[in-house]
Each structure stands twice: as structure tokens, then as C-alpha cells.
A and B are shown apart, each in its own frame.
Chain A
């Protein structure tokens, strides 16, 4: 198991090199100049030229790539062009907000999604199943910014129950968690339902029933665990996705997370900051998938890793 873990983590290295390299090349190819972007209307060609030189932006790209990656190996993720802040620090400071938002959104998503899926699956085509389908459809199709504004209008302003924007306590997370969690909940609910329905029709469930086990025991002990395999895969992807930043939710609710940092980095062509965000996202995806793979073994005893 330990060897497996180690091997999987080592596999992440070529993934990181590959993605950073691709990001780097993409940034080379697309038009845009970070200094011109920073100066906006104050563009002064002499200043742009000088600062580009001072920041070594005119060096050949392989040289810049190698220099950057050498820095990364030493734990130095460089300095943001625009804010001149340390990239590692910027991302590390933004991460807690994203972690809190992710955790609370997933609490909503899974806390609602899995039970809803189970209820729908145990009573297929009943009113509660249809209600769940409608809820799922709404959850997936309502845009986050619209739902966010609606919540702000109702709960933030009209009723005044919750703060509209900011990040200073648990009460600030309630609206964003629900808004962000809603679409993930819908996906999880649909997936749980279909997967559970499939398992419920299989032979061993019939056997379990034939033994005279109660419905609840059949469901929880026998059916649910097996049916959760595909759900866990999606859950892992959701974790990684949300941890890489939910930029719209972060913007609407003024949460200082990594999503806003990395989107700004793209807009500004803030290369060190963008590379830092990419590396972070890659590590999160790799770790997320790893956790999913390990939990497979817990869910399905036939799966083993050597």
C-alpha cells in the first residue's frame, strides 16, 4: 500500500512538469503583454520596454521556463508581476478561504445529494423521486451568480439575516455554501439514484432480501456501499475542482479565495502567479484522485492495491 502511494505520488511529477510546460507555451502563444496590461491607459512604450528588460521578459522562453522551474524546486514560486507579492504566500493566504468554502459547499452538496438520491432510488417514479428530479434539474441549470444575487437580495438585504459579502465568520459562509453546493448536490443526487437503482436490481440484493433481511439493512449494508463507487469518483473530482477555486461564487460573495487570484493572474498575464495556481491545482487533482482510489478499496473489498 505504501509503495503504491509512493508510486502514485511520483507519477504526479511528470504531470506537473507537463501541465506547467503546456501552460507556459500557451502563455507564449497567446497575444498579451503583462506590463502593457498593468499600465493600461498609462501605457508608455519606454517604460514597458525597460520594465520588460528588468523583469527578464525578453529572454528566450526555454531559459525563462528553466529558471522558473529551478525556483520552484527550491520552493520559490516567484513574485507576482502586478502586486509584487510572493506567489507562494498569495496562494497560501487565499487557500484557507477556499478550503472553508469547499468544505461547507460539499457538506451541503453531499449532505443533501446522497440522501436525496437514496430516497429517490428507493421509491422510483414516486412524487418524491420526481421532486428530486426537478430539484436536480434546477440545481444544475440555475447559474451560480443569479442564485447568489437572489440569495443576497432576500436573505442579505430584505430579511437581513446574513451578511451580504465578506469572509469573517461562519455566518458569511452560509449563503455561498448553499449556492455553490446546490449544483454539486444535484449531480450527486442524480448519480446516487441511478447507481443505487442499478445495484438494487442485482442478484445479491435479491439474495439478501431472500434471507429475510429488512429493507433498511439491505439498503445500507449491501446496496449503498457498492453503489457509491461511481459517486466517490465524482466526489473526488468535485473536491479538486472546488479547491482550485470557485471564482464566480468567490466574486459574488467577496470571498478571498484562490479562484479570484488565479483568474486575475490569467487576465493580467501574471505568469508566475498563474504558474503557481496551475501547480497548486494539479497537485490537488492528483491528491483528490488518489484519495478516491484509496476509498474504492474501502468500498469494494475486491479492489486491492499492491
Chain B
């Protein structure tokens, strides 16, 4: 059975297999819809990149992958960036709306004739279907907290109702939404990606594949999606605000920041998000070719260090206070972020409604920190942990800097690195020690920061274990207030108590978000909240 001349034959077979594999696999791009079309001459294209594939285009199923939702869909109301760091609620798919004085009933008058990418016309049924779908337990949605204030939402989520009682169709172009209790930021909530509107007919037809083959009313439609490689979008001719000023939007998935930077320099990318490679900020700033091509905007967000009040000695407020003065915020900004930020004094970020510019802040004062530790009964210092995930070298840099600063006042911080799922799992249990992180606004309201962080269950799930009944009762109260000025005032009081009396939140800084863009890209604006994912509708491409 053994052939004498088998070796050459074996080698030949291997070579043929290899060639077949090469030839056979290359042309057929793996992945969803159709094969990507080649980029044609004269077609105005914007090519950008991000490091992870969004996975799904369904904003009900993701809390962070918003590139597709911001460009494929519209919302009833839109948060439009006016000037850097500022936003304004403007009509979207709803032309206008009325709110009853008690803040419970919202009536939305829909734009007539807004078209979906597949030709369907938007009606009230689509809006009701979309919002009800988020709350439908069969969908297993992750973004329910943007809509769970609607009357009947809880019953719907618990499977006790087959529809949401607070969603009502008045006529084809009018939707009435009733809330379970007044919720001042409701409109702002609807302006987030989670409030994106889908076509009922289409979603019912396509079913589970909606996340891969999405259809919206937005300025761009999805043409092809090669998972982990590339997404191609093109201008939607019938967009109700008018066709975008360029033809094609390509999102490449490039995991390595260094690779992205090279692609940008070579011209394979038109814009480069410097969040991916902060160490390259000085390089681009010095480079004559690029220094004038850096676009920067504030991030309506706060970087902070967490403190777990259940882990001794941090149950002692004096110890927590000592940490506040032990950190040299300006040096962190200068050394780690090349001066592109300002020290934070509280929880809320500049640009956010209700931001308090008059907070005193914590000056770097190692002597005071030492004295406070002594007062707390720890003249020889304390030990703590700084916890982070293994895959973030930038967090490690930051933690090493903090470690050095804390050591100056006698706090011995051990940096503990763990797998990201273990990190988030431990944190969810309320058992994680200190960590550094950041939060950027989903919508322009203090509730998005303060409730998200300090509502009792949330404070545990973030491993802060903050407990102050008076403050936490006020949080609930602020949610249902309708007098905005009084509401903001209350939030400012809450913020002061949490940061300057309970010392439960260590503000670090607010950073700018920098992008560098090729000259052919005009009108590139950082979104009001400073997110990496942004709507690209306003951009122009000049060749």
C-alpha cells in the first residue's frame, strides 16, 4: 500500500492544498451581507478605524458600541453638538412634543414621511414597537435603564405583561408616552443611541438578524459587514434632513493602535483617534504636517479613583480625605496626558447641565495628607490595592504614577492586575479595592453621573459601597423634580456632600479628546460628550 515515490507526491499535495486554500479563500470575503464593493474613483469616502468590531448594530443589545446606531438610525429627539462640549436637544423624528405640567405625559408629533432605508415610512407604530421591544424580556436587552421609567415598563420586563401600558398610539403620527413617575431627563434619555427608532415591519420580518442587517432612517445605510475587518456604509439618498455630503463611510477594524497610526500616516485612514495612542500626541503635535490637523474637544466626562468604603482602613473618612490631598492632579495631566486636560474638583464635568464651577477642589498637599492619616490613627501609613485589567498599559502607567504619589504620604499601594472579566465580576460583587476609571455623559443631565454612581445598588455594583441614607434619598427626590434650576441646585448639594464631606469619590481630571485628521476631511467636530463613536453626518470630504 505504500507508494515508493510518495515523498515528492506528499509535498506536491501539500503545496496544492496550500494554493487552493489561498486561492479559494481570498476572493470570498467572509462575513455578512454582500461582498464589499471596490472603492470607485470620484466617490467621496471617509475611512476611519476602531479597535473592536461593534458586533451588533442593535443599540438595545450593547451599552457602548454606538458607531452604527449614531449613523444608521435617528431618535425622536437629538442631542446636537453646538460648540465644543455643549449640546442642545433638537427635534429628530419628532417634529415637536408637549409635556403635561406634572411631567408625566409626553406627546410626540412625528415628522411625516420620514423614510427607512428599505422604503418603509415611519409611523407611530414603529416608535411604540421599538420602545416596547427594548423592554420585551425575549430580547434580553442591556439598555433598558434608558426606558424603564415608562409606565408599565417593569411589568413588561418581568414578563407580566405582553405590552407596555405607557406607550400609546394617538394616530399614525402621534405617540403618547406616560411615565410611572416624573423623570426630568426623559427627553435627554431618548436622545441617546438607546432611543434609536427601528422599522416595525422590517424588524418583525428579519428577526434575530436585525443586529447584522440593520435598517434605520439615518443618514447612512449599511452595505456590507465583514466581521472583525470592515464595515461599509453609504449615503442614504432619501435622508429626511438631506443626503450626506459624502458618499461612503468605511469603518475598518484595526486592533493595534500602532497599526492604525501607520495606516493614518500612509493615508489609508482619514482620521485617527488619539485616545488609542496617547503617547503619540507629542509626536503629532511636533510634526509640521500634522500639528494644525489636530482636532480637539472636551470630553464631558470625569476621570476618578474609586474608594471601597467597606475595605478598612477606608471605612474611616479621614483616611479617604488623606487620599484626596495625596494626588498631584496637574502632574498627572502634564506627564501622562501631555497637558490636555484640567484637574477635576467634583463628580460632574464642565459642559454638563448642573456643573458647579465654584467647588474648591483639592490642592496637592502631601503634608496635609500625612497629618490626616496620623489623625486617623495611622501614623505609619496604610496599605491598599489599585486594581486594573491586564490589557490596559495606559491604566498601568496611571496607577504607577498614583502609586508613587501615594507612597510619598505613606500609603503603600499594590497594583493588582487581573483578567477584565474577573475585574468586572469582582467589582459587581462590591468586593474590588480601588481602581481608576472614567465616565462620559450618555445624556446631558447630572442624573447620568450621580444616580448612576451613587444609587444604593449601583454604589455596590461599582465596588464603592457608598452609604449615606440622606443623600441617597435626595437622589430619588431629584429624579422626579420638574423645576430644573432647583433640581440642579440639589444635585450640587449632593455632589458637595459626597466629595467634600463623605470623601467617597476621588476626582482626578477632565480630559480633552484629540483626533488627527487628513486635510480632505472638513467640519470634523468632536461630539459634545467626547465619545469616540460619533455621527459623521456633518462632515464634508474635499478631494
Contact = CB atoms under 8 A, between A and B. Distances in A.
A43 B457 CA distance: 10
Interface residues of A, number: 82
A297 interface: yes
A94 B266 contact: no
Contacts, number: 218
A36 interface: yes
Given A40-B63, A157-B265, A165 B7 contact: no
Contact of A252 (B208, B227, B253, B256): B256
A158 B461 CA distance: 49
B331 interface: no
Nearest to B423: A32
A93 B227 contact: yes
B137 interface: yes
Interface in B366-396: 391
A201 interface: no
Nearest to A82: B55
Interface in A22-78: 30-48, 50-51, 54-55
Given A39-B63, A100-B26, A169-B26, A254 B424 contact: no
A85 B225 CA distance: 13
A1 interface: yes
Contact of B208 (A32, A40, A84, A94): A84
Given A31-B425, A33-B425, A164-B268, A102 B229 contact: no
A32 B419 contact: yes
A173 interface: yes
B173 to A, nearest CB: 32
Interface in B452-509: 457-458, 460-462
Interface in B5-47: 6-7, 10, 14-15, 17-19, 21-22, 24-26, 28-32, 36
B427 A96 contact: no
Nearest to B391: A267
A224 interface: yes
A125 interface: no
A167 B229 contact: yes
Interface stretch (A135-143, A148-156, A209-217, A279-287): A148-156
A178 to B, nearest CB: 14
A254 B254 contact: yes
A161 B73 CA distance: 39
A267 B262 contact: no
Interface in B41-94: 52-53, 55-56, 58, 61-64
Contact of B424 (A33, A295, A299): A33
Contacts of A257: 228
B58 A42 contact: no
21 contacts: A37-B420, A37-B424, A38-B63, A38-B142, A41-B437, A45-B428, A84-B56, A93-B30, A93-B32, A96-B25, A167-B29, A225-B7, A254-B229, A260-B228, A260-B255, A261-B228, A267-B419, A269-B425, A297-B2, A298-B2, A298-B7
